Amino acid sequence: MSIRSRFELGTDCITWMLTESSIAGSCLLFLFAVYVACPFIFYYCKRIRNAGLFANRLNLPHPWFYNLKDPSSFGVANAHNESLALDVGMINIWCIDSTTPKYKDGKKIVVLYSHGNSCNRAMSHRVGLYQRLSAMGLDVVTFDYRGFGDSTGVLPDETTVVHDADVMLQWVQERYCDHNIVVWGHSLGTGITVKLLSSLESYPNNLQRLILESPFLNSGEAGRHIPIAKIFDLLPCTKGVIGAALEGLFPTDKLIPKITLPILILHAKDDKILPVHHSHLLMEECLKQKMDNVSLKIFDEGQHKFLFMNDNAMAAASEFIFGL
């Protein structure tokens, strides 16, 4: 059944209830109307769809109460903030230098981290990853896309976040010209980094590797499995609408074959936000395309945000980065 047909079915149900309703029925009608309307508003209104996809309004720790330009206040040592002005708005960046740098082929390594949706670069699970990477001897550059944290200028959409990731890659190439670069994307950040890197005609010599942590096959498939989508799947008229609304955005499965960098996929079996089958299906697609530059590592624990606490996962990342 098409989305339009499902919408008509939902409105027919509401009309019938309106003609038959009592006072109690009116209350139920209101709840039913909200329940039916929400997924279709999400489907038809791009601005609301982007707000749900990026969840940038959930801005924690909030810059009204915390100074995001002071990484030390969040437990990030040996770091400083930089601001990068764009034609519209600016991107705020943390540059974190390892106190025990490790070299490969005579060069340090810097990780450019692209975070997922909601909150900002100071969120605790992201800070935990920076600390682990720094302890591994890696420098780290992390940033907020415009519209996240204290980065300003636009409301985020697919084009702006990929553009910001592109700007940051160029910035890191210039600022860390004596380093090798590893790009690390988490969750929605995996879709952003894959879309960016798949669009490049060539890679700079110092761009070495790509790590995809807790990735998704594509946004449509991701949208079919998030908890709120399952709530709306209870009725035939709203079943699948959330996934259909996100279809076509960040098609990682279609774009990843264009990337020739070595790629490591990390995922936890207990991930309830983006279940591990996303990585299995993504790996199947890579094998179908005869890609020999992709490896998949699955771990029992780590959930969606806490693989940095899994020593085996971090050991796998270290081995991949340093080519041991």
Average pLDDT over residues 309-319: 98
Which pLDDT belongs to residue 74? 97
Do the Cβ atoms of 43 and 97 come closer than 8 Å?
A: no
Q: Is the pLDDT of residue 214 over 90?
A: yes
- Of the candidate ranges 20-29, 217-226, 304-313, the one whose mean pLDDT is the lowest: 20-29
Q: Is the pLDDT of residue 165 over 60?
A: yes
Instruction: With CA atoms as reference, report the closest residue to 10 among 26, 24, 25, 29.
Output: 29
Which pLDDT belongs to residue 2? 66
∠ CA 88-185-94, nearest 5°, is 55
130 and 30 part of one domain: no
Do the Cβ atoms of 274 and 216 come closer than 8 Å?
A: yes
Which pLDDT belongs to residue 11? 56
Q: Name the token pair of 174.
A: 């210039």
Do the Cβ atoms of 13 and 36 come closer than 8 Å?
A: yes
CATH number at residue 104: 3.40.50.1820
| H or E stretch at 230 | helix 227-232
What is the per-residue pLDDT across 33-57, written as a single tens digit (0 to 9) for each?
A: 666 778 788 888 899 899 989 999 9
Q: Which residues contact 66 (CB under 8 A, 6 or more apart)?
A: 73, 74, 122
∠ CA 244-246-250, nearest 5°, is 135
∠ CA 268-274-276, nearest 5°, is 40
Do the Cβ atoms of 310 and 301 come closer than 8 Å?
A: yes
156 and 89 part of one domain: yes
Average pLDDT over residues 221-236: 79
Q: Name the token pair of 280.
A: 């299995």
- Of the candidate ranges 135-139, 223-227, 250-254, the one whose mean pLDDT is the lowest: 223-227
Q: For residue 242, how many other CB atoms are within 10 A of its CB?
A: 26
Comparison of pLDDT for 251 and 242, the residue scoring more = 251
4 and 27 part of one domain: yes
Q: Is the pLDDT of residue 27 over 80?
A: no
Question: Does residue 62 sit within a domain?
Answer: no
Q: Is the pLDDT of residue 230 over 70?
A: yes
Average pLDDT over residues 93-122: 96
Question: Does residue 57 sit within a domain?
Answer: no
Q: Is the pLDDT of residue 91 over 90?
A: yes
Q: Is the pLDDT of residue 14 over 70?
A: no
163 and 127 part of one domain: yes
Question: Does residue 271 sit within a domain?
Answer: yes
Indicate the number of domains in the chain: 2
Question: Does residue 185 sit within a domain?
Answer: yes
The per-residue DSSP string of 157-193 comes to: -HHHHHHHHHHHHHHHHHHTTTEEEEEEEETHHHHHH
Average pLDDT over residues 8-16: 54
- Among residues 198, 232, 248, the one where a domain terminates is 248
Question: Does residue 66 sit within a domain?
Answer: no
195 and 228 part of one domain: no
132 and 180 part of one domain: yes
Average pLDDT over residues 201-213: 93
25 and 166 part of one domain: no
Question: Does residue 285 sit within a domain?
Answer: yes
Question: Does residue 51 sit within a domain?
Answer: no
12 and 152 part of one domain: no
Question: Does residue 204 sit within a domain?
Answer: yes
196 and 108 part of one domain: yes
| H or E stretch at 267 | strand 263-268
Which pLDDT belongs to residue 95? 98
β-strands 263-268, 90-96 pairing: unpaired
Q: How confident is the model at residue 3 (pLDDT cuts 50, 70, 90)?
A: low
207 and 233 part of one domain: no
Comparison of pLDDT for 303 and 33, the residue scoring more = 303
Q: Name the token pair of 20.
A: 């038959």
Q: How confident is the model at residue 19 (pLDDT cuts 50, 70, 90)?
A: low
Average pLDDT over residues 84-88: 97
Average pLDDT over residues 161-169: 98
205 and 118 part of one domain: yes
- Of the candidate ranges 44-53, 77-86, 88-97, 152-161, the one whose mean pLDDT is the lowest: 44-53
User: For residue 10, what are the domain limits?
Assistant: 1-44+223-248
Question: Given the structure tokens 């975070």, which residue do they identify?
Answer: 115
120 and 228 part of one domain: no
Q: Name the token pair of 243.
A: 């996934």
Which pLDDT belongs to residue 160? 98
